[in-house]
Structure formats: C-alpha cells, structure tokens
Structure 1
Amino acid sequence: MRIPLLFLLLISAVAFAACDSAGVDSESSEESTWSIIQSRILVPNCTQACHTAGTSVATQSDLVLTSDVSYEQLVGVAPANLAAKAGGLLRVHTTESQDLHASFLWEKINAPEQDHLLEEHPEYGAIMPLGAKPLSYGELSFIRRWILAGAPEEGVVADPIILTDTATFRETFWEPLPQLAPEEGLSFRVGPFEVAPQFEREFFYRVPMDHAETRLIKRSTISLAAGSHHFIVYSYPQGTPESRLPFPGLIRDLRKPDGNLDISVLRQMQDQIFLTGTQWPRMDYQFPDGVALELAAGTVFDLNPHFVNRTDEETTGEVHVNLEYADPAAVQHVARVLNLNNTDFVLPPRAITT
C-alpha cells in the first residue's frame, strides 16, 4: 500500500511540534535557582527561627525572609546595618559582578572567610545563621553563583546538584583576652557555660567584688565565643540600697528551662545602667586621647551574656572582658554615663498623654 507523501509530512510536523512542546514545558517547569534558595536554604536556616514578621530579629534587622516578601526585601535593597549602608553595600547587589563583598548577605553568611568580617568589618555583626551551624559549602556555592549571575528571580543559574555538598565550616579558633594585672585594669571572665539545644540562654551575673576606689577607664575590650547575640556590662545607680541589688556571684537566668521569662529577673533590669557592651564577636573601644570614663568607688558590675543555640546539640558560651585603667595625669576630660531613664511619671487611664 502506498502512503501519500502529504500524509507523511503532516505526521512528521505533528511529531516535531509535540517534541518541541514537551521541551518547552519541561524547561518552564524547572524550579528556578531563587525558588530553591528560598525553599531549601532560607526557610530552614533563616525564616523558621528568626526572620519572620513580628519576631525581634526581624524587627531589629528590618528583614523578613518568608516567601511572600523575601526577594523584594533582599535584592537591590540597602541593609539596615548603618555601617554596611554607609559602605555602599546592598543586601544583594543586582549587577553581574565578581565583587561578592558588595552584597551584605554574602558578608553575613560566608563563615569560611569570617576573619575578613571580624577583622575588617566587625561593625557588621555576627555570622549568620546565629547560634546554628553555618551554611554548608554547597549552599554557599549555590548562593554565590546566583549572586554572581545578578540574583535573578526567574531562571536557572546554578545546578541543584551543588547542594549535595553538605560539609560545613567548623570554627576552631576563638581569641581569648589576656588577663590584666590588678594595676592595669579589670578583667572579667564569664563561663564556659552550657547553652541547651534549640534554646537561647541569657543571664545576669553580679561580679562578687568591691570596687573600692574611683578609677578612670580608657579602653574596653570584649571577646565573645561563637553563638553570641550580645554581651553587656551593666551597673546600678549610686546609692541603690543593697536590698534592691542582685546577690553577688549568683547566675540569674532570664529564661526558665521551659522558655518562659523569669519575672523576678526582669524586675531587676529596670534599675540597670549601661556601662559597655557589644553585639560584635570582638570589640576594642578606646576613648579619644585625654578622655576616660569614670567608675566611681562602689560601682557594681552586673554582666549580661546572651547566647543562641539553634542546633540539636548542647553548645558552650564564654566571654572575656578587659577594662583598662587610664593614667589620671593624662586625662583632661572625664566621661560619665548618661542615665536618661525617667520612671517618675504616671499615665492616666483612657487618655492620650504627650
């Protein structure tokens, strides 16, 4: 039987069209690189624990990473961190560039090169995710390729097979501070102490010492182990009755084991005065020449570490603090702490008070 040539041509055309249609559908249905970053990296590492609307972290950083807003909040947007913003960084830059460090996101997640962050830009804050394992080498490589390609919302610019590299950077170095001699200044050491799995531990510890004479401080140096949210040295107003002060040498955890706040510890916070502190892993603050901070005789030191653990294993926190004395003969200007809290007013009910 002879088959007409026209019929064969029609069959061939239909077959080619079907193949072409199948190819387009396959390509269009392939998950975009950004979608993979959102679902496989941001959600489990960043969104669930911290960067969800209404959380303190999201409010402080002005960054929400849920899927409905994350791209718009990340790409082409200036960071809330003032130092990074002043340096011209964007959270993620939008041009195809080899300069990864123009993206604040990369600075914050690149744990293998964290010394660059800590030594050159400590004001950028801690490596993220805070209190959890760093992103894997595969996750970092995947995000890196996306950024270098201009951070597109659609399309494929990185092979998902990269994510099979699940090895992570392990920090093996923490820089302790040298102990100051008594004539050089004050050295405080907190820990090592444990931080339970999937928990954030914040506590206060009044140093059991008598600061018997007025001294001048020229330099404050703080070093924090990995996983710290912040550390603050508080004091209390001069003349505060001993009955209102916390017991010395006693650890007062802000959170109970079930995660609820301890109201008795919260009450003591209303009297505290900030002396020095940091959210940077390492801080070295020096007053200008001729200026020193006065610590009056009888100053009480209440130390406040806050560490976060988003892993399933117990971690360890530790803090070193050095307050170096100034030579009184070299001081022309005495700095004092500004305690501007006003708790002596009453707001009447059902009224707007200005």
Structure 2
Amino acid sequence: MIPPPKIRPIFALAVASLLIVPGAARAQTASSDFNDDGKVDFNDFFLFAGAFGSSGAKFDLSGNGKVDFDDFFLFAQRFGAPPDAPAPDTFRELQTRVFNRNCLSGSCHTSERRAGDLVLEEGFAYENLIGVKPGNPAAAAADLLRVDPGHPERSFLLTKLTGPGPGQGDLMPRGASGLRGVEIDALRAWVQAGAPRVGLVPDAPRLEDLSTDLAVRFTPPAPPERGIQLRLGPFGVPPGREREVFSVVRPTLDRDLLVNRVEIIMPEGSHHFILYLWTGRTPPPEPGIRDFDPRSPMGIVDIFNRQFVTGSQTSATAYAFPDGVGLRIPRSAVFDLNSHFINLRGRETLMGEVYVNLHEAPPAAALQAVEPLFDSNFAINVPPGQTTAISQTWTARQAIKVITLSSHMHRHGERFTVETLRDGKQIYESTDWDDPEVLNFNPPLTLQAGDGLRYTCTHRNQDRDAPLRFGFTSEDEMCIMFGYYYR
C-alpha cells in the first residue's frame, strides 16, 4: 500500500464517509483509478488527498479547474466500484441522451447554427441554460429563464418541450411526438433539484437504457377520411451526412380531387419537404427512393419536369385553404416526393420519413382551383466576408388573386422581402430562414395583368473562404418565393 500522506483534519470525516457509501450508489470512471491498479480504493484516496486544493487535472473530476469538495463527492460515489463503470450523473445523461440526440441532429442548437441563440453542445449547454433569459420576447416578458434552478414552472426549456403558449414559438423538438415522457420527467426532476452540474438526482429517471430508435417516437398520422395519404421512406441518413431523395408515388384515383387542407408530418432532422406533380414529357422514374446528386446534369434537368404542389420546412405542418378555394389534383396525377434530411451533428443513423395528407373538400363544396406560385433567383454570388442583397421580379400574365406567400433560403439567408411592383409597397418580410413566415391574404391580394412582385434575398457569407452561390446542399444558398393564387 502507498504510504498515506499527512491528511488534513477535515479528511477524517471524509474517510469515514467512504466506508459507508451505499453500494447501489457506487459507480466509477477510469479517471478515479489514479494509480491504474484496476480498482478505486484507499490508495487512490491518499493520492487524491495529497492533491486536494491544487489544480491537478488528473484529480479534477468535476472539470471546474481545481481539486475541491465537488471532486471529493464524486470520488466518494465511485469508491469501491470497478473503474470501467460510468459515474451516475444526471446532467451528463441529459446531455448525451436528450440534448445530443434531439437538439443537434438537425444542426439546430449547434455552435454554427445557434437556433434561438442557444447552443446545446457538450461544454456549452449548461452555461447557455442556467439563469439565462430566453431570446423569445413573450417568454422574457413572462419573466421566464431558460432554466430557473428549483423552479420548473419558470423554466422556458420545459415550456418549449411540453406546450409553449401564444407567441412562445413551436413545440420542441420539432417532430410529430416530441420527447418521450421519461425524458421530460428527467429534465423536470433535474430542474426541481436545483439543476446541479454534477452528481445524481435521485428522483430523476435514469436514461442510460433508453432506446434511441427515432421510429419509436415518430407517430405517423391517420389517413384523411376523405382524400389520400402519400408516404416517402423511411430512409437512413448516416452520422455526419445529409441526404436528399426523391420518390415517385402513383395514387389510384377515380376522379379529380379538390383539396382544401394539407398536412405534412415528418421526424426531426428535416431540412425541407416538397410535393411535386410530374409534368415532364418523359415518363416518370419508377417508384422507390432516388438519391439526388446536385452534380448530375440529369438531376438538374429533372427539376423542370416537375410542378410545385406544396411543401414544408417544419416537422409538423397543417395548412387550410381559405373558404371557396382549393387545390385541384388531376385523376391522372403522378407525384414526385422530395425530402432533404440533415444529420451532420448526429452520432447515429437518422431515419427520414414523410407523410402527406391531402384532405378532399366535401362533395357539395364549389371551390375555385388555386395554382402554385413558385419562382427562384439563381443569381446568388456572395464573396467571402460580405453581405449581398439580390432581387428578382415575378409578373402576372393575367389578373389573379394571391392568397398565400412564403419564402425559402438556407442558413446564410438573413432577410427575405416582397414588394408590389405597382407602388413599391412591402407586403412580406421574413428574417427566419428556418421557419419563414407564411402570409395569408384576406382579402386576397389582387394583381392585374402586367402587375408583379419583386422579391429580395439578403445573404451573409461570414464563415466561408469561397463565394456563396446557388446550390442544393445545406451549405449552398437559395432564394425562392412561393405561394398560391387563383384567377
């Protein structure tokens, strides 16, 4: 045995505490086996006692830059356990089992994207949560904090996970079912216990054996009572990758459909989904998952064989057309479903899947058929370190009534505006590229033949050494205006 060093009086009580640590609470990491003899015992304790009060990294189990009682209490939990068993630590379980797997897989709360100015990566999450005012104005006005230790009811993190109120944004994480109940219970118990950075919260459910299969949490929607349901996938997206796919679907229809409501449901991790009608003169591809290669000339050509029908950038979208109008789906329709999932920060395969419900209007409804408005500006060229605004004009060929406008950009997009050509009046603005405004006009916006809309995209190239240009990956950019109108 290593000769014990001269131990301060306070450690007399500490030694006694090591002898009565309950076996069920003992767990261990290899870092506590300071002499590497395969066990954590008094030899390791004497080494630890000799380093107490120093800044020795080997003995700094809590990672706070000094060897103090935080480290001692961790050591006491680990005393007597085999060195390869993980120490029980509630926040570490929340980080690895909740934040890493639900908040980073779609690159949302990463240091690059900083959705809501919140980073939940390891090493950043705790400081970004504890005692920090949320960026959401409604939550800040309600005196909520992201995490208010000891007060789950005043912690905006839990509000976002269980049902945000008016003005507080969408339920998180974006998906059909959100977190599982046991994950939310663990977060709530941790906050109630004061949100400790280290150590085990006895009342918090353990998450170490929790299944990580995304399919368990994703609940497909029921098909519409009247109408059709379309499905794409599932398909796998490996860690560190993004994947864009297409899939042809040929529904069996005995009549044209007039659709008055659309639902799009998909798991977290989606960048976008678009439903197209195949309109090309060439036969459509066979059904099945088709990977899109932006470098392939044929992949680009196929874009002009499709007509936009509807789409979504969020995991749960429900859109109802105004009274008296609807989307006409021809009996002969062949759909091409397009989905793009991102798993750049994930540590396991992400399963992509999309369901689309097209709800048919009641038989007695006399609906005016709407048409899609879809226009893209390809002239994006932003030098490194610069911010550039580009504009393009869309002109109505005959008198129309616009009922909806929205936009699409990628992560370098800072602002999207639309103004009318006849008077230069701005009618649309969005500064959130990931969740852009969907503007419904009531009454409709009337445009005469020759009238038009000018849309402007502002992109900032702050983190690339090469020019930012139009492209299909999440690191390229887009500038698209879309919506619906009728004649």
TM-score, length-scaled by structure 1: 0.57
Return the structure number with greater relative CO, CA threshold 8 A, min gap 6: 1
1:29 partner SS: helix
- Structure 1 match to 2:134: 78
- Structure 2 match to 1:53: 111
Deviation at 1:288, TM superposition (A): 3.2
**Is the 1:233–1:277 contact (alpha carbons within 8 Å) kept by the matching residues of 2?**
yes
Give the 5 Å matches for 1:172-191: 174-178=219-223, 184-191=226-233
- Structure 2 match to 1:234: 275
Which consecutive unaligned segments of at least 5 residues does structure 2 have?
A: 1-6, 15-48, 54-66, 75-88, 391-487
* CA distance in structure 2 between the partners assigned to 1:34 and 1:265 by the alignment: 51
* CA distance in structure 1 between the partners assigned to 2:315 and 2:389 by the alignment: 41
Deviation at 1:341, TM superposition (A): 1.6
What is the letter of the counterpart of residue 178 of structure 1? P
Deviation at 1:17, TM superposition (A): 7.0
Structure 1 position 253 matched with structure 2 position 291: yes
- Structure 1 match to 2:171: 124
Q: Out of 327, 338, 345, which is 2:373 matched to?
A: 338
Identical columns (%): 25
Deviates more, 1:327-336 or 1:31-40: 31-40
Residues 28/331 of structure 1: CA separation in 2 closer, same or farther (3 Å cut)? same
* CA distance in structure 2 between the partners assigned to 1:87 and 1:336 by the alignment: 41
**Is the 2:341–2:352 contact (alpha carbons within 8 Å) kept by the matching residues of 1?**
yes
- Structure 2 match to 1:148: 192
* CA distance in structure 2 between the partners assigned to 1:214 and 1:277 by the alignment: 21
Residues 342/295 of structure 1: CA separation in 2 closer, same or farther (3 Å cut)? farther
**Is the 1:126–1:281 contact (alpha carbons within 8 Å) kept by the matching residues of 2?**
no
* CA distance in structure 1 between the partners assigned to 2:150 and 2:120 by the alignment: 23
CA shift digits 1:149-179 (9 cap, x unpaired): 4546x6x685489686523268378344336
- Structure 2 match to 1:111: none
- Structure 2 match to 1:217: 259
Q: Out of 143, 149, 168, which is 2:210 matched to?
A: 168
Structure 1 position 267 matched with structure 2 position 309: no
Structure 1 position 292 matched with structure 2 position 336: no
Deviates more, 1:198-207 or 1:267-276: 267-276
Deviation at 1:253, TM superposition (A): 1.3
Q: CA RMSD in A?
A: 5.6
- Structure 1 match to 2:336: 302
CA shift digits 1:95-149 (9 cap, x unpaired): 632427x4335754xxxxxxx669x999425468x99xx7895x76654333224
Q: More strand by proportion, 1 or 2?
A: 2
Q: More helix by proportion, 1 or 2?
A: 1
Deviation at 1:207, TM superposition (A): 2.9
**Is the 2:224–2:358 contact (alpha carbons within 8 Å) kept by the matching residues of 1?**
no
* CA distance in structure 2 between the partners assigned to 1:194 and 1:211 by the alignment: 27
* CA distance in structure 2 between the partners assigned to 1:264 and 1:70 by the alignment: 43
Residues 147/279 of structure 1: CA separation in 2 closer, same or farther (3 Å cut)? farther
Residues 70/15 of structure 1: CA separation in 2 closer, same or farther (3 Å cut)? closer
Deviation at 1:303, TM superposition (A): 0.7
Deviation at 1:290, TM superposition (A): 2.7
Deviation at 1:282, TM superposition (A): 4.8
Residues 304/326 of structure 1: CA separation in 2 closer, same or farther (3 Å cut)? same
What is the letter of the counterpart of residue 337 of structure 1? P
2:372 partner SS: coil
* CA distance in structure 1 between the partners assigned to 2:121 and 2:382 by the alignment: 40
What is the letter of the counterpart of residue 290 of structure 2? R
- Structure 1 match to 2:443: none
Residues 270/349 of structure 1: CA separation in 2 closer, same or farther (3 Å cut)? farther
2:191 partner SS: helix
* CA distance in structure 2 between the partners assigned to 1:96 and 1:347 by the alignment: 50
- Structure 2 match to 1:195: 236
**Is the 2:152–2:188 contact (alpha carbons within 8 Å) kept by the matching residues of 1?**
no
* CA distance in structure 2 between the partners assigned to 1:321 and 1:297 by the alignment: 17
Count of equivalent residues: 306
Residues 166/267 of structure 1: CA separation in 2 closer, same or farther (3 Å cut)? same
**Is the 1:231–1:303 contact (alpha carbons within 8 Å) kept by the matching residues of 2?**
no
Q: Out of 147, 150, 159, which is 1:93 matched to?
A: 147
* CA distance in structure 2 between the partners assigned to 1:42 and 1:220 by the alignment: 31
1:73 partner SS: helix
Residues 311/337 of structure 1: CA separation in 2 closer, same or farther (3 Å cut)? same
Residues 275/353 of structure 1: CA separation in 2 closer, same or farther (3 Å cut)? closer
- Structure 2 match to 1:29: 71
Q: Out of 223, 240, 249, which is 1:207 matched to?
A: 249
Deviation at 1:87, TM superposition (A): 10
- Structure 2 match to 1:326: 361
- Structure 2 match to 1:103: 156
* CA distance in structure 1 between the partners assigned to 2:246 and 2:104 by the alignment: 28
* CA distance in structure 2 between the partners assigned to 1:252 and 1:321 by the alignment: 18
What is the letter of the counterpart of residue 177 of structure 1? A
* CA distance in structure 2 between the partners assigned to 1:86 and 1:269 by the alignment: 47
What is the letter of the counterpart of residue 63 of structure 1? L
**Is the 1:231–1:278 contact (alpha carbons within 8 Å) kept by the matching residues of 2?**
yes
